[in-house]
Amino acid sequence: MPKLKRVGDTDNRGATDFIESLDRGLRVLEVFGGSRQPMTLSDLAKAADLPRATARRILLTLERAGFVATDGKLFRLMPRVLVLASSYLASNHVVSVLQPALDKLSGEAQEISSMAILDGNDVVFIARASPTRIFSAGIDIGYRLPAFCTSVGRVLLSRLPDGELAAALGKMDLTPLTPFTVTDKKLLLKTIIADRAEGYSLVDREAEPGFRSISVPVRRYDGTIVAAINMGAHVDRVSSAEMVERFLPRLRAAAASVKSMLV
């Protein structure tokens, strides 16, 4: 299992501003996200890049707090970890403002709609709406995907000036997710800049086989992009042209309806 990379590894703030034990505990919690199965102490320690004894103490502390359970050999997360996610969602102003707009959008279009934010090189979906007639499956809240090959990700990356965007793409691991994933960094830069000019991004089968999606930026009152909303469908059901014709105006209307409320 690969070692977990920390976003803040290059942070040069003073040691007095950093609680290493807390960072290690959070690192262990994050490791569970890379596995759908319970994990051994050795696997967790290796993935979190921690000594086995340190990982053991952290896991036993998390067990006592109710975040982790073990049978003596394997460790697994407990539902209590959802408190952390629900606290974020409940306190997130963008989610509270956008959710009614997403619900309206999804009901009118009779399609699933989602909202995502940028987290490092990934996008994280933090809100979702689905018409009642559609079974709620697939991408859900908390789901992560690489930003470079998703429509929401390209919309969010487009907020960067050209130089910063080129530098960000240069540092990304552009591992293809499908045979259609674009991994040429110069082409990606050109595509994202063009998407910025158009005000939307349409990605066709690059992130998931047989699936295309279209996204627009969500801007706060001063024009800053704070999130992206999208709608998607299987390629056999909705064409790219239909997405632009039917979905794009609704997405733009939903984003515009909340701009004055986002601070």
Report the run of H or E that residue 176 belongs to, with start and end. none
CA distance 76 to 213: 34
Contact 215, 186 (CB under 8 A): no
Total-model pTM: 0.75
Give the model confidence (pLDDT) of 44-95 as tens digits: 999 889 999 999 999 999 999 998 999 988 999 888 887 777 666 666 777 8
Give the model confidence (pLDDT) of 121-145 as tens digits: 999 998 888 886 444 444 577 888 9
Contact 211, 180 (CB under 8 A): no
> CB within 8 A of 156, min separation 6: which ones?
116, 117, 118, 123, 147, 217, 225, 227, 228
Domains of the chain: 7-81 (1.10.10.10), 92-261 (3.30.450.40)
